[in-house]
Amino acid sequence: MKFMKLGTRPDTFYTEEATRTVISDIPSDIVIQINDTNYLLHKFPLLPKCGLLQRLCSDSGDSDIVTIELHDLPGGEDAFELCAKFCYGIMINVSAHNFVALFCAAKFLRMTESVEKGNLVLKLEAFFMSCILEGWKDSIITLQNTSKLPEWSETYGITRKCIDSIVEKILTPPAKVAWSYTYTRPGYSKKHHHSVPKDWWTEDISDLDIDLFRCLITAIRSTYMLSPQLIGEALHVYASRWLPDTTKNRPPESSVSQTEELMEKNRRVLETIVSMIPGDRGSVSVGFMLRLLSIANYLGASPMAKAELIRRSSLQFEEATVNDLLFPLPSTSGRHSYDIDLVVSVLESLVVLWRRISPTASENSQFLVSIRKVGKLIDSYLLVVAKDVNMPVSKIVSLAEALPDIARLDHDDLYKAINSYLKEHPDLSKADKKRLCRILDCQKLSPEVRAHAVKNERLPLRTVVQVLFFEQEKGSKETGNRLLPPPELIRNHTPTIGDDQGKLKLGLDEKSSRGESTRRTITPAGNSEKDQNKMKRSDGKLPLELEKKLIIAEIEETESEKGKEIRGEGMSRSKLDPKKIITKGSRSDNSRDKGRDR
């Protein structure tokens, strides 16, 4: 930072109560009142250099002591005292920190060349042009100080000249950057890097007030010389510095008024940043936009800002990672559960866009690949949030159902998430278990996962029977026959997970040997077309006959706890073998069919 020294005399100003006086043998003959401070000074050093004081003193007549009020002086007492010391020849230091206030005060007091040669305004202008505007950080500090006197700075051209100087330096090719700058990115050290990074300027301009920052970014974009990614990086650095981090617990504020004031300031910063995001895809990362959306929800930003962030995030949603989606939701109990509503809002926006595309176009376009990436992302996210003990089942279901069917090629990952949720919520009601498992399509499970599901005692009976049916139906297709699962399966089967068997490698707590996941041998129940039609339903669900039997079994299970004990004695849950049940049921059904034939 550069300085300019003016004057040579030592400082002789002193304070007595609210009065500032100069040590002198000559009594003061002019009193300058600025706010609550009175300056007892002398006409001779001041009037020759201050055109305003000359006029005001001439208007006051020939009184010995003249009192002048300058309450509207830009810069207040501090700026006036520097001007007064210049008039007395007392040494003062001028820098980027005090230049704005001093220059505006000198212009206000008319300390120009027309009043006296070599006056303060001329000296300040020379320092401004040759030192401040030539420096990088000096220009930024000066521009930042214009926020204290925005109207005066704009009137005297300080703001515009500082912005032009900063923009000119930002547009300089990195190889020609020779001035000092701040760059504290992880892994970067100036000692080990000879080349200047393209975003070298982003950290220093983040010191600016949001309004000045907006003016500067607007001026940079108007040149069309920097890529949208560099503009986006500048926005990212500014947001990281000034906006709250919603991935951590917010610190308690000292008062409600202070909190509201800070919230309002942060809202303005957020909405301004959102309005400046370039329209080019990829100018900012989807992770950054999701973070802004989380902050917008926390701050209560405008619906327009939220809608824009949701729309932009949905366009790049396939680029997100699970960590980009993990935002805690503050609760009154001090615990945090994940903000699923944020993810649902972005996903729903994406689905709306997807549905606008015709089916033929969507099946043959890159969009189909994108939405399947999103499907993998959502299922991986569900696996993480399912472990939150405070997560309501309705949130899991709403997010899982927000994905269109075409987004999932299989339901293996979804099954893992459901199983993880059931494990973390052992007290879940039967109704909630059914509601949760209803989103699972058993036909889209791999053989390994189906083998695990058959022995999963956490699943509702209906789900297990569906898995068994579709496993059996798949086997019957290979032999050209179909078989209806026998009544004994519905009445007597209770799924279980043995301690030493039925454990699969699903990324969960269970692991399995592949020897237990072999397909079942199915005995045909009948070959007539009538029997085949009984088993078909257009919606891909269980056959009507099996559906009725299953409902009866569920009613019996709910009404009779004693029945569970009897079934437990008759058949150990850990030794249940679906093959034997199906084979036994097949023989029973075949004998009944033969009796009817006779």
pLDDT 10s digits, 197-233: 999 999 999 999 999 999 999 999 999 999 999 999 9
Domain C-terminal end among 108, 131, 154: 131
Question: Do 105 and 210 belong together in one domain?
Answer: no
Q: Contact, 382 vs 424, CB < 8 A?
A: no
Domain final residue pick, 110, 131, 152: 131
> Does pLDDT of 167 surpass 80?
yes
Verify that 202 and 295 share a domain, yes or no.
Answer: yes
* Number of domain units in the chain: 2
Assess if residue 49 is contained within a domain: yes
- Regarding beta strands 37-41 and 19-22, do their DSSP bridges make them parallel or antiparallel, or are they unpaired? parallel
- Greater confidence, 465 or 355? 465
579 or 441, higher pLDDT: 441
Most confident of 175-184, 303-312, 567-576: 303-312
For residue 490, being part of any structural domain is answered with no
Residue 263: inside a domain:
yes
Residue 572 predicted with pLDDT over 90? no
Q: For residue 43, what is the domain's CATH number?
A: 3.30.710.10
pTM: 0.80
Res 400: pLDDT: 96
Least confident of 102-116, 243-257, 569-583: 569-583
pLDDT tier at 247, thresholds 50, 70, 90: confident
- Min mean pLDDT across 182-196, 253-267, 520-534 is at 520-534
pLDDT at 332: 44
* Residues 114 and 19 reside in one and the same domain: yes
Residue of higher predicted confidence among 219 and 590: 219
Question: Residue 52 is part of which domain span?
Answer: 4-131
For 492-505, give one letter per residue: b (16+ CB within 10 A) or e: bbebbbeeeebbbe
Q: Does residue 61 fall inside a structural domain?
A: yes
pLDDT over 70 for what percent of the chain? 74
Alpha helices in 277-321 (DSSP H): 286-299, 303-315
23 and 122: one domain?
A: yes
Helix (H, G, I), strand (E, B) or coil at 571: coil
H or E stretch covering 241: helix 228-242
52 in a domain, yes or no? yes
Determine, yes or no, domain membership for 480: no
The pLDDT value recorded for residue 358 is 59
**Tokens 């309005």 belong to which residue?**
275
Examine the domain organization and report whether 115 and 210 are in the same domain.
Answer: no
Has residue 330 been placed in a domain?
no
Structure-model confidence comparison of residues 495 and 453, the more confident one? 453
Does position 523 have pLDDT exceeding 90, yes or no? no
Mean of pLDDT over the chain: 82
**220/214 Cα distance (integer angstroms):** 10
Residue percentage of the chain with pLDDT more than 90: 65
* Res 15: pLDDT: 94
With a CB cutoff of 8 Å and minimum separation 6, the contacts of 349 are 310, 311, 313, 314
